[in-house]
């Protein structure tokens, strides 16, 4: 006989929900969004490390140094320091927002129900989902190019397809990504675990190939592309903000992964080992490879897929492209599909299951890349570059996502004091449908950010958007909640 009332038990600091009919029949619940059982939390620190190695080693990371030197006026040394510092900084919200995921086994959208309301959680979820779908499309474009170059190295005549071949590669890679995520979290865990050492091997191989053709002394001595005599502080801060923005999305939805961690220690140690150093080293590799590309292939090439495509040996091209396909797949599935899959389910869990949500993510990503695909097919002509799109997203979206990160941390640690009503997050009778404190705290920094775009005096508010947004959002949320404590502050952890 099915129990009527849900029960929550605790084991070594990890909480588990035994769902009764009050939760099972709720429109806010489905199996995929349910809290993980303690026995399902199987990811140790090395699985978490592999997750970050798999996500960090990708084409956009490789190009970050070039983005900072070309668009943000930093020298090579300044750019690499900005990347390192940014990833140390972003560890703070990553590890803090991972805590409730590990403790309660809940994904990102369910956690947001505490700070934005049961229905209100859908607004920040969809904001997060949109940027993830965009990144999914961008990464799929890189993966499709790698498939195109791979097939061109093993099949005679494939190269002649040109842009059409790239579009075919895009669609093949698109299907492969969706298939992995539909298979579930264990599939992603093993993909990341198996691919991590291969990706490190690719990085070492590229470095060995490049080092004889580049002088690090000369590279670090290249002057920055900013006005002569201009101070470094403002340029560095803008670049730092953009680099924080690179993982600002994951600092929100990290509970989507930490819900599978064995313990808080595993998620903390795994993230510390896996993120900052991997990002720094692979971005450094990109700077070195771009500098060496003139001697290696005769032209300056800023992305590894195109660079390797210049190699004359079909065997080496095929091998390298196969590894890049794995690298891009491991990044894309974890970083860009898991979150919108959960976010879309949150809209109507009884109607949208994981498979439907994955397909919806794929379709949105496909639509967002429609312009680029039509350009490759020769159906339209445009000067808009993919690099410009994603470098602008880094800064703009980090400004929007900062307040959400600040609100989440303040809500869980200061307002709810790490105590959530686990069953209540899946019902309509504990937390409000809309928590207007969350929306006010989110809206004020966003409006100020938009207004600062038209003001020279306040342009710093946009340039440092993630920092200003997260700090102000957190402060406003705390102030509102402290003045009039929410009646949904949980009665007990169980």
Q: What is the pLDDT of residue 393?
A: 60
Could you tell me if residue 228 is inside a domain?
A: yes
Q: What value does the mean pLDDT take over residues 342-370? A: 94
Q: Is the pLDDT of residue 48 over 80?
A: yes
Does residue 97 belong to any structural domain of this protein?
yes
DSSP 223: P
For residues 250 and 335, is the Cβ–Cβ distance under 8 A?
Answer: yes
Picking from 76-85, 193-202, 393-402, which range would have the lowest pLDDT averaged per residue? 393-402
What average pLDDT does the structure give for the chain?
Answer: 86
Tell which wins on pLDDT, 336 or 351. 351
Decide which of 227 and 12 is more confident. 12
The reply to whether 2 falls in a domain is no
pLDDT of residue 340: 93
pLDDT of residue 235: 84
Q: Are strands 14-18 and 7-11 parallel, antiparallel or unpaired?
A: antiparallel
pLDDT digits (tens, 9 = 90+) for 442-459: 999 988 888 887 777 777
Find tokens 């091997």 and name the residue.
Answer: 201
386 neighbors 372 (Cβ within 8 angstroms): yes
pLDDT tens-digit map of 382-412: 776 666 665 566 556 656 788 999 999 999 9
Q: What is the mean pLDDT of residues 303-330?
A: 79
Task: Encode pLDDT of 163-187 as tens digits.
Answer: 899 999 999 999 999 998 998 877 8
User: Where residue 57 falls among pLDDT bands split at 50, 70, 90?
Assistant: confident
Encoding tokens for residue 206?
A: 């590229």
What pLDDT is stored for residue 494 in this prediction?
Answer: 44
pTM over 0.95, yes/no = no
Cα separation values, 290 from 62, 297, 299, 386, 413, Å: 9, 11, 9, 18, 44
Mean pLDDT of 301-324: 78
Tell me whether residue 358 is in a domain. Answer: yes
Residue 150 falls inside a structural domain: yes
* Cβ neighbours of residue 152 closer than 8 Å, sequence gap 6 or more: 158, 159, 165, 309, 317
User: What is the domain range of residue 242?
Assistant: 40-372+415-429
Look at the chain and report how many structural domains it folds into: 1
Are 395 and 242 in contact by the 8 Å Cβ rule? The answer is yes
Considering only CA atoms, which of 132, 123, 71 is closest in space to residue 463?
Answer: 71
> Could you identify the residue written with the tokens 């492209």?
321
Share of the chain above pLDDT 90, in %: 45
Render the burial of 151-188: b for 16+ CB within 10 Å, e for the rest.
Answer: bbbeeeebeebeeebbbbbbebbbebbbebbeeebeeb
Q: Which long-range contacts (CB under 8 A, 24 or more apart) does 77-82 make?
A: 77/220, 78/224, 78/232, 78/235, 78/236, 78/239, 79/239, 79/283, 79/287, 80/280, 80/283, 80/284, 80/287, 81/236, 82/236, 82/239, 82/240, 82/243
114 or 490: which leads in pLDDT: 114
The CA-atom distances, in angstroms, between 40 and each of 37, 425, 433 are: 5, 20, 30
Which structure tokens are listed for 472? 């102000």
CA angle 200, 335, 462 (to 5 degrees): 110
| pLDDT beyond 60 at 324 | yes
**Do the beta carbons of residue 202 and residue 324 sit within 8 Å?**
yes
Quote the pLDDT of residue 3: 65
pLDDT for position 387 = 60
Residue 47's pLDDT band, with cuts at 50, 70 and 90, is: very high
pLDDT, mean of residues 130-146: 88
Residue 234 falls inside a structural domain: yes
- Round to whole Å and give the CA distance between 45 and 85: 22
Range scoring the smallest mean pLDDT among 170-174, 257-261, 378-382: 378-382
The residues with which 7 forms a beta bridge, in sequence order, are: 18
> DSSP 3-state assignment of 378?
coil
CATH number of the domain that 347 lies in? 1.10.4160.10
- Collapsed DSSP state (helix, strand, coil) of residue 14: strand
Q: Which tokens sit at 199?
A: 């990706």
Whether residue 452 lies inside any domain: the answer is no
Asked whether the predicted pLDDT for residue 463 surpasses 90, the reply is no
Residue 489 pLDDT grade (very low, low, confident, very high; cuts 50, 70, 90): very low
DSSP classification of residue 353:
-
Q: Which of 45, 56, 51, 35 is nearest to 286 (CA)?
A: 56
Handedness of CA 358, 364, 366, 369 (dihedral sign): negative
Q: How confident is the model at residue 66 (pLDDT cuts 50, 70, 90)?
A: confident
- For residue range 81-117, list pLDDT tens digits in order: 999 999 999 999 999 999 999 999 999 999 999 999 9
Question: 14: which 2 tokens?
Answer: 């990890």
Higher pLDDT, 187 or 363: 363
Residue 68, in any domain of the structure: yes
pLDDT at 9 over 60: yes
pLDDT of residue 354: 92
What contacts 373, CB < 8 A, 6 or more positions away?
167, 170
Query: Helix count (H) and strand count (E) of the chain?
Result: 23, 2
Tens digit of pLDDT for each residue in 227-246? 877 778 878 888 888 788 77
């Amino acid at each position: 006989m099915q129990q009527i009332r849900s029960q929550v038990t605790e084991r070594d600091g990890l909480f588990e929900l035994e769902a009764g009919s009050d939760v099972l029949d709720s429109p806010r619940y489905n199996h995929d969004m349910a809290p993980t059982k303690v026995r399902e939390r199987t990811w140790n620190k090395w699985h978490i490390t592999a997750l970050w190695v798999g996500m960090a080693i990708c084409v956009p990371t490789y190009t970050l140094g070039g983005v900072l030197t070309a668009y943000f006026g930093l020298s090579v040394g300044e750019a690499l320091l900005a990347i390192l510092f940014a990833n140390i900084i972003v560890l703070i919200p990553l590890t803090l927002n991972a805590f409730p995921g590990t403790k309660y086994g809940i994904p990102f959208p369910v956690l947001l129900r505490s700070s934005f309301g049961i229905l209100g959680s859908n607004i920040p979820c969809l904001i997060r989902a949109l940027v993830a779908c965009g990144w999914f499309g961008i990464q799929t474009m890189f993966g499709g190019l790698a498939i195109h170059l791979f097939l061109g190295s093993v099949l005679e005549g494939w190269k002649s397809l040109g842009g059409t071949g790239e579009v075919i590669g895009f669609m093949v890679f698109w299907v492969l990504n969706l298939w992995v995520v539909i298979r579930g979290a264990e599939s992603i865990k093993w993909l990341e675990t198996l691919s991590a050492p291969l990706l490190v091997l690719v990085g070492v191989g590229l470095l060995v190939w490049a080092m004889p053709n580049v002088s690090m002394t000369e590279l670090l001595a290249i002057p920055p592309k900013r006005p002569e005599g201009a101070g470094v502080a403002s340029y560095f801060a803008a670049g730092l903000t953009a680099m924080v923005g690179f993982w600002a999305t994951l600092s929100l939805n990290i509970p989507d992964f930490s819900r599978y961690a064995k313990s808080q220690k595993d998620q903390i140690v795994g993230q510390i080992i896996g993120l900052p150093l991997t990002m720094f080293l692979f971005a450094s590799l990109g700077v070195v490879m771009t500098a060496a590309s003139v001697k290696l292939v005769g032209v300056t090439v800023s992305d590894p897929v195109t660079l390797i495509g210049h190699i004359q040996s079909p065997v080496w091209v095929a091998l390298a492209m196969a590894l890049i396909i794995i690298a891009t797949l491991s990044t894309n599935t974890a970083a860009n599909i898991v979150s919108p899959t959960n976010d879309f389910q949150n809209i109507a869990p009884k109607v949208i299951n994981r498979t439907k949500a994955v397909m919806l993510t794929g379709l949105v990503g496909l639509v967002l890349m429609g312009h680029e695909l039509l350009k490759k097919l020769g159906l339209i002509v445009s000067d808009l570059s993919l690099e410009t799109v994603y470098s602008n997203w880094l800064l703009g979206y980090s400004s929007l996502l900062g307040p959400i990160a600040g609100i989440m941390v303040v809500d869980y640690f200061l307002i709810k004091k790490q105590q959530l009503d686990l069953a209540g997050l899946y019902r309509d009778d504990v937390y409000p449908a809309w928590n207007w404190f969350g929306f006010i705290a989110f809206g004020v920094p966003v409006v100020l950010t938009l207004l600062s775009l038209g003001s020279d005096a306040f342009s710093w508010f946009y340039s440092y958007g993630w920092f200003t947004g997260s700090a102000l959002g957190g402060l406003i949320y705390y102030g509102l909640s402290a003045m009039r404590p929410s009646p949904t502050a949980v009665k007990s952890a169980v």
